[in-house]
Amino acid sequence: MHRLRSISHHSLTRPSGIFLIALAVLVAPRVYAVDPVPPEAPPSLELQPRSLVFGAPGSAFVTVYNRGAAPVTLNDARVVSLGQADFTAEPVRHRQLAPGASSTVKLTYQPGSRVRRQSFAAVELEYEGNSTAAAAPGKHIQTVALRGGEDLSLLTWLIFAPLLGIPMLFLWPRGRERQLRVVALLVSAVPVTLAARMVAMFDPLFKRADGNFGYQFVQHVAWIRAFNVEYHVGVDGLSVGLVALTALIGFIAVLASWSIPVERNLRGYFSLLLVLETGLLGVFVALDLFLFYVFWELVLVPMFFLIGLWGGPRKEYAAIKFFIYTLLGSVLILLAIIALYYASSPTILVDGTAAAHTLDIPKLVHLNDFSGHPALLGFRFVNLLWVLLFIGFAIKVPVVPLHTWLPDAHVEAPTAVSVILASVMLKMGTYGMLRIGWSILPEATRWAAPAVSALGAICIVYGAFCALAQTDLKRLVAYSSISHLGFCLLGMAALTPLGVNGAIFQMLSHGVVSGLLFLLVGVLYDRAKTRGLDEFGGVATVMPRYATVFALAFLASLGLPGLSGFIGELMALVGSFGRYRTAAAVSAFGLIIGAAYNLWAIRRIHLGPLPDRWKTVLTGRDLDGREWASLLPLVALTIGLGLYPAPIIDAASTSVAELLAMMGLPSLGLGGEL
């Protein structure tokens, strides 16, 4: 370790910092004018300006200049938009423009309803009489992009705030490494405040009919025209809770990283943690498949290094296994994304330019029907794509039998990384299933739902039995994650309002509870340097406060009514009972095994006699202030959500209702919710 310390103070830190600032400047999103519309060559008609932004309802003018040598006829000015009729253009009927003359077209922005949203549209100006030799005669079209409403770059700042903090870490003077933790904490507090603002401004009743296909805080610009890729971000009921959870867990993870020694390259550690947070936040808000995929893959490299450099004894094995296994899933998703792209129908980009295909998730969901696509390689197109997507997301969830990377990755990762992995990263899989698989391919989802519910039941029971068999506390919690996410699958497969809402609630609840669980394991490991369940006993006698929180967390994991775990599991079970009786019954049996391993863990750690070797190590070392600070928010959430789940469920229910409306399933006749 000494040898390492002496060569870690190398004088390339400052150039590294400058290099990283350059990197940060490049990585920071150039949201506007990233890929300008290629001008019609050569235009004799010039439009000023090419894009208009309306802050408030009102009018503005686009001036049309005739730069050519012959008169031009303006045939029509049409507003094209997908979703809302907030913009109108002054009627232009065959207006003549002499060479050198100019004319104006009035555009008005009048949002129809009181609903707060961002509006996007484009004006198509059709004209003929372009006299330049090289251009073909006939009708031509130029577009002007329009944007109205509040420009809340909230989501963009939310996603990239962690990245912008990284240069600060690298420019921090050498020798003051202890302060790096505080710097990282402050940087990770920014997404929390932005997420809180987002949650406060979120409208649970915002529907697709209200505009922007039902997404809020939308930002939408063209990014890479060559592939019809756009930077399109927004949240709806499915993702708002996950975004808030990610921001909170990112903050708590930095708190949990205090125990990492200063010599272990804190700059690198926190930088990777912040990049990871950016990737996770980006996944949940991305509404363009390319953008979604970029953020999806962005989390792989930081996780690889975080596990491999700061992890436990078998860290390299766990890191490379995680990397390759999840990359395999990701490339299958990539294949499906590209296939969807080429099967989609022509549409327009946000600024009006025509696009032969689209990667935009709302457009793929609402404006494309793939069920009639010709068969691919002998399989029904939608089914084949759905299976590819499902395998890719299932590796992330993880679904048995694709789960073998999880126990190793969880156990070998440092505490903070385990917390992020369990609380947020696993939800990427289930969220991806809902957002992409369920929404874009509803017919295939109906076809596969029985299999998914069976897989959910298997996950629940198998995960529970595996957890029961573990002797390492962290491994036990890892397998319990597999079991809990089985409830998500069960609820999602049920395709009933209660089921899917239960799945979303379970995602959030499990995020909170498993965060708690891994933090608690970390607390014990920091002191005892071991996690063997058989090595402990009677810890409650020397660490009573720790025992209280420990018991609360494991009871929440068990599904005790009054804590959040119960709500999610109950909703998923009841929601699926109508359709998949067997799966629901088997899963209910899994609850019993869940009770078994959770209670047994509490007993083995906290009850009974305390072995002598722990008497000196653990006495007087109950939870300290920092650990309380990291545990309390999650404890409060667990209890709060368990007693009052309504806000969360209300936030999601509109989006879930719209999702299920697309499924076209007959009602079960068991009452409104089921």
Partner 1 sequence: MLSNVLSNGASLRPFAPELVLGIGVLVVLLVGLVGKGGSRGLLLGLTVAILAGAAVATAVTRDEATRALFGGLLARDGFGDYFKFLFVAAAALVALASVSTDEIGAGPSDDRAVAEYAALLLAAALGAALMASATDLLTAYLSLEFISILSYVLAAFSPQRPRSAEAGLKYAIYGGVATGAMLYGFSLLYGLAASTELNAVRVALTAAPPLVAGTALALCLAGFGFKLAIVPFHMWCPDVYQGAPTPVAAFFSVVPKAAGFALAYRFLLGGAAPLVPALGPATGWAAVLAALAAATMTLGNLAALGQRNLKRLLAYSSIAHAGTMTMALALGTESGARALMLYAGIYLFMNLAAFLAVVAFIHRGVGETVDDLAGLGRRAPLPALCLTLALFSLAGLPPFGGFVAKFAIISATIERGATGGGLYFGLAALAVLNTVVALYYYARVAKVMYFDLPREGAGPVRLAPIHVGLLGATTLAVIALGIYVPPLSSLVAASAGGWAGR
Shortest spacing between CB 328 and partner 1, in angstroms: 5
Question: Of the candidates 2, 12, 56, 175, which one interacts with partner 1 according to CB under 8 A?
Answer: 12
What would the two tokens of residue 189 be? 């507090």
Identify whether 43 is preceded by a cis peptide bond (ω within 30 of 0): no
Place of tokens 């090289």: 134
Site for partner 1 in 395-434 (CB under 8 A): none
Per-residue contact string for residues 329-348; x = within reach of partner 1 by CB under 8 A: --xx-xx--xx-xx------
Per-residue contact string for residues 224-243; x = within reach of partner 1 by CB under 8 A: xxxx----------------
Query: Judged by CB under 8 A, which stretch of 15-23, 429-437, 481-489, 539-547 contacts partner 1?
Result: 15-23
- Are 105 and 123 in contact by the 8 Å Cβ rule? The answer is yes
Question: Of the candidates 13, 73, 88, 103, which one interacts with partner 1 according to CB under 8 A?
Answer: 13
Question: Of the candidates 31, 53, 301, 665, which one interacts with partner 1 according to CB under 8 A?
Answer: 301
How many residues bind to partner 1 according to rule CB under 8 A?
A: 53
Interface with partner 1 includes 297 (CB under 8 A)? yes
Question: Of the candidates 80, 115, 376, 533, which one interacts with partner 1 according to CB under 8 A?
Answer: 376
Shortest spacing between CB 261 and partner 1, in angstroms: 15
Nearer of residues 300 and 599 to partner 1, judged by Cβ: 300
> Angle 266-285/289-298 helices, nearest 10 degrees?
160
Interface with partner 1 includes 657 (CB under 8 A)? no
- Are 165 and 187 in contact by the 8 Å Cβ rule? The answer is yes
Interface with partner 1 includes 132 (CB under 8 A)? no
Site for partner 1 in 530-589 (CB under 8 A): none
**Which DSSP symbol is given to 563?**
S
Interface with partner 1 includes 305 (CB under 8 A)? yes
In order, the DSSP letters of 361-408 are HHHHHHS---TTSPPBTTB-HHHHHHHHHHHHHHHHTTPTTS-THHHH
Three-state SS across 291-338? HHHHHHHHCHHHHHHHHHHHCCCCHHHHHHHHHHHHHHHHHHHHHHHH
Question: Of the candidates 80, 164, 185, 294, which one interacts with partner 1 according to CB under 8 A?
Answer: 294
Interface with partner 1 includes 150 (CB under 8 A)? no
Shortest spacing between CB 340 and partner 1, in angstroms: 10
Shortest spacing between CB 332 and partner 1, in angstroms: 7
Interface with partner 1 includes 19 (CB under 8 A)? yes
Question: Of the candidates 46, 316, 526, 622, which one interacts with partner 1 according to CB under 8 A?
Answer: 316
CA distances from residue 212 to 110, 159, 357, 510 in whole angstroms, order as listed: 15, 20, 19, 30
Question: Of the candidates 47, 82, 115, 298, which one interacts with partner 1 according to CB under 8 A?
Answer: 298
Query: Judged by CB under 8 A, which stretch of 125-133, 319-327, 538-546, 549-557 contacts partner 1?
Result: 319-327
Nearer of residues 87 and 386 to partner 1, judged by Cβ: 386
Cα separation, 62 vs 7, in Å, equals 62
Measured CA angle at 325 (ends 319, 328), to 5 deg: 135
**Which residue from 89, 62, 94, 211 is spatially nearest to 150, judged by alpha carbons?**
211
Nearer of residues 313 and 625 to partner 1, judged by Cβ: 313
Backbone torsions φ then ψ of 96, nearest 5 degrees: -90, 140
Interface with partner 1 includes 24 (CB under 8 A)? no
Question: Of the candidates 38, 138, 664, 669, which one interacts with partner 1 according to CB under 8 A?
Answer: 38
Shortest spacing between CB 134 and partner 1, in angstroms: 9
Shortest spacing between CB 54 and partner 1, in angstroms: 27
Interface with partner 1 includes 35 (CB under 8 A)? yes
Interface with partner 1 includes 381 (CB under 8 A)? no
Place of tokens 């505009």: 211
Long-range contact set of residues 382-386: C-beta below 8 Å, sequence gap at least 24: 382/441, 382/443, 382/444, 383/444, 383/447, 383/448, 385/336, 385/339, 385/340, 385/441, 385/444, 386/437, 386/441, 386/444, 386/445, 386/447, 386/448
Helix (H) or strand (E) run with residue 222 in it: strand 216-224
Interface with partner 1 includes 309 (CB under 8 A)? yes
Nearer of residues 6 and 529 to partner 1, judged by Cβ: 6
Question: Of the candidates 129, 241, 308, 362, which one interacts with partner 1 according to CB under 8 A?
Answer: 308
Interface with partner 1 includes 136 (CB under 8 A)? no
Question: Of the candidates 23, 199, 560, 662, which one interacts with partner 1 according to CB under 8 A?
Answer: 23
Strand arrangement, sheet containing 102-109: 45-48, 58-66, 102-109, 87-89
Per-residue contact string for residues 272-291; x = within reach of partner 1 by CB under 8 A: ------------------x-
What would the two tokens of residue 548 be? 């209280």
Amino acid of residue 539: V
Backbone torsions φ then ψ of 533, nearest 5 degrees: -65, -30
Nearer of residues 390 and 479 to partner 1, judged by Cβ: 390
Bridge partners of 144? Answer: 123
CA distances from residue 111 to 149, 350, 450, 504 in whole angstroms, order as listed: 8, 18, 44, 32
Interface with partner 1 includes 93 (CB under 8 A)? no
Shortest spacing between CB 169 and partner 1, in angstroms: 13
Largest Cα–Cα distance in the chain? 98
Shortest spacing between CB 388 and partner 1, in angstroms: 9
Interface with partner 1 includes 15 (CB under 8 A)? yes
Cα separation, 396 vs 426, in Å, equals 6
Interface with partner 1 includes 87 (CB under 8 A)? no
Cα separation, 368 vs 617, in Å, equals 63
- Are 231 and 291 in contact by the 8 Å Cβ rule? The answer is yes
Cα separation, 120 vs 141, in Å, equals 19
Nearer of residues 296 and 550 to partner 1, judged by Cβ: 296
Interface with partner 1 includes 164 (CB under 8 A)? no
Shortest spacing between CB 224 and partner 1, in angstroms: 5
Shortest spacing between CB 305 and partner 1, in angstroms: 7
Amino acid of residue 129: G
Strand, helix or coil for residue 232: strand
Interface with partner 1 includes 315 (CB under 8 A)? yes
Shortest spacing between CB 11 and partner 1, in angstroms: 9
Cα separation, 363 vs 338, in Å, equals 15
Question: Of the candidates 293, 479, 554, 580, which one interacts with partner 1 according to CB under 8 A?
Answer: 293
- Are 554 and 606 in contact by the 8 Å Cβ rule? The answer is no
Nearer of residues 251 and 325 to partner 1, judged by Cβ: 325
Interface with partner 1 includes 178 (CB under 8 A)? no
Interface with partner 1 includes 260 (CB under 8 A)? no
| Binding interface with partner 1 (CB under 8 A) | 3-4, 7-8, 10, 12-13, 15-16, 19, 22-23, 26-27, 30, 34-36, 38, 224-227, 265, 290, 293-294, 297-298, 300-301, 304-305, 308-309, 315-316, 319-320, 323-324, 327-328, 331-332, 334-335, 338-339, 341-342, 376-377
